[in-house]
């Protein structure tokens, strides 16, 4: 819990300094733990605020969205980086930046009117992590982030017919 609180405070106060001093060999255990704790807090807050009629199912969806999307976005970003950029960062280190950024912003993202602030804030934190920890140039980080967002939108948009077909088949 000490890592969680100290990390959250550092990311809220001085994210650039935090990412700059983040060890390159940290691994993913602590950042993913940070994300899971934030995901649980966000899930519980959303369930309490929304007066859920099916809390287990809705809670599972909230939690998977809060934590799973960080992994998905890191995966897309990592694929784009390795295919198109002359930058080489290991996936554990790459995922750590995404997990820390998402874990920070998910604490307010459950509020419907805050999602418009939380998403850009998350991407800004990711870009800050890329420039301060990976040594990317700002325009490299921006290009990677924008292309990641584009690929995700296209991926999920192209996945809609599959979801529709599954819903139709199951009644």
C-alpha distances (whole Å) from 74 to each of 6, 92, 155 are: 23, 10, 14
Q: Is the pLDDT of residue 38 over 80?
A: yes
Cβ atoms of residues 138 and 131 within 8 Å: yes
In 3D space, the residue among 115, 116, 120, 132 whose CA is nearest the CA of residue 10 turns out to be 132
Percent with pLDDT over 70 in the chain: 99
Predicted confidence (pLDDT) per residue in 116-148, tens digit: 899 999 999 999 999 999 999 999 999 999 999
Q: Where are the domains of the chain?
A: 2-170
Please report the sign of the dihedral spanned by the C-alpha atoms of residue 104, residue 107, residue 109, residue 113. Answer: negative
pTM: 0.92
């Amino acid at each position: 819990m000490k890592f969680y609180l100290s990390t959250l405070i550092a990311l809220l106060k001085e994210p650039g300094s935090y990412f700059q001093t983040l060890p390159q060999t940290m691994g993913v255990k602590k950042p993913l733990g940070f994300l899971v704790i934030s995901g649980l807090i966000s899930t519980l807050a959303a369930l309490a605020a929304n007066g859920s009629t099916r809390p287990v199912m809705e809670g599972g969806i909230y939690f998977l969205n809060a934590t799973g999307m960080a992994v998905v976005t890191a995966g897309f970003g990592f694929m784009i980086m390795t295919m198109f950029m002359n930058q080489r960062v290991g996936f554990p280190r790459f995922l750590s930046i995404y997990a820390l950024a998402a874990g920070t912003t998910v604490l307010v993202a459950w509020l419907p009117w805050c999602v418009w602030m939380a998403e850009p804030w998350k991407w800004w934190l990711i870009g800050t992590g890329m420039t301060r920890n990976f040594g990317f140039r700002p325009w490299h980080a921006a290009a990677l982030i924008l292309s990641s967002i584009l690929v995700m939108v296209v991926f999920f948009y192209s996945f809609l017919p599959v979801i529709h077909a599954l819903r139709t088949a199951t009644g």
